[in-house]
Structure 1
Amino acid sequence: MRRNAQADDGEPDPDPSGGTTASHPRMPLVHLLRSVAVDLDLRAAAFAAEQHLHPTDLRALIALLDAERAGESMAPGRLGARLHLNSPTTTAVIDRLEALGFLTRERDPHDRRRVLLVVSREAKILGWDFFGPLITRILAVMDGFEPADLDAYERVLRAIAQSLHAN
């Protein structure tokens, strides 16, 4: 079944929402956001391939780095929940990343029974070597905007991110 494609007669297929979504004046912005997401995903896939990582391994590293930036610790169970993985799959991801030297398992200093996952310095260096130039270019682009514009942009992206998690 084709969706959102051109019919054989050259006419666009109808909008499944009854025409209210496709004609929304902000649809070009939605398409641009999707395009940026696809481009970023392609870069992430290139990094994963270069480092011999499964896409889930890369998502795990990103989740761990995000938690670290937020000042939060990450145990295996929390990582699995974050990525919607079962326990055996989570263990396999952690084992692969540990074997590659991308993370270590450390005892929680507050609860020695608990294991925490920590991204290695080497993994951070590899990530920065690959993504650093892109991040630098993105920051340079942002420097061309007024702080109020960037504040609005941040609010929009946060709201979009929230809507992605609302199911």
Structure 2
Amino acid sequence: MPTPAYITELREVWGHRPLLLPGVSGVVLRGDPGHEQILLGQRSDNGRWSLPAGIVEPGEQPADSLARELWEETRVRVVVEGLVSLIADPEVTYPNGDRCQYISMTFRCRYASGQAAVGDDESLAVGWFDLDALPADLSERGRQRIAAALSADQACAFLTAG
């Protein structure tokens, strides 16, 4: 998906200076407890496997935004079960010089329907992975988000500066 129009319009005024943006990602599970699989996408920008993710657009609720992003990217429909992690990610600088920091909301989701497939140009591949056979290039941040979704503790994970 191209950069949303509202961000392009902000960049016309704000330039490359940092934008604080609401991000969503989903830990999508299917199968029986103890034998679950997780949905991942292989990113087209860097070739690495990651959790499906995107940004909340104006007028959207975060959980609805995630469900939309999941459908667009993976062709999978989900039931969003709960917020499992809320953190500020480190600032990112894109090749064009744009700087962003995402306030990242990670949701645990249950598979509802659909055949996992590449739905847009943000992914090279989409697939289901056994929890004990995750891709080696899955980031530590992605692994932490998965751990939060699988935790028996139902409280949302967050970080503090202290």
Shorter chain as normaliser: what TM range? under 0.3
Q: Which has the higher contact order (CA 8 A, sep 6+)?
A: 2
Structure having the larger proportion of residues in helix: 1
Q: Of the two, which has the highest radius of gyration?
A: 1
Structure having the larger proportion of residues in strand: 2
